[in-house]
Amino acid sequence: GQQLNQSPQSMFIQEGEDVSMNCTSSSIFNTWLWYKQDPGEGPVLLIALYKAGELTSNGRLTAQFGITRKDSFLNISASIPSDVGIYFCAGQKGGSNYKLTFGKGTLLTVNP
């Protein structure tokens, strides 16, 4: 079953604000991935993290692989209307090359 706790479940923010969301687990993961899903489409990979402590940016997005390997966070700076969507974290455990565990998602709404 689900082993990733993603929070918050939803966020309503004003355009220009910064956003932070995170995933935590009682299990250790070797890889953390962050996806975004637009309505009616499949998830699209935003950022991949491979090492504990790793901090990676992709434009206005920044994600970190927690030092304990049990958590990760995603920050979005200076939000814009097209940031609207559902953001998912996903983790891959060691010895499980084909199985990702997904969080339940964070629904982001940006008010112009």
Binding footprint of another protein on the chain (CB under 8 A): 1-2, 4, 6, 31, 33, 35, 40-45, 48, 50, 88, 90, 92, 97-100, 102-105
Nearer to another protein, 109 or 111 (CB): 109
The DSSP letter of residue 103 is P
Closest distance to another protein from the beta carbon of 73 (Å): 17
Closest distance to another protein from the beta carbon of 17 (Å): 25
The 3-class secondary structure across 41-57, one letter per residue, is CCCEEEEEECCCCCEEE
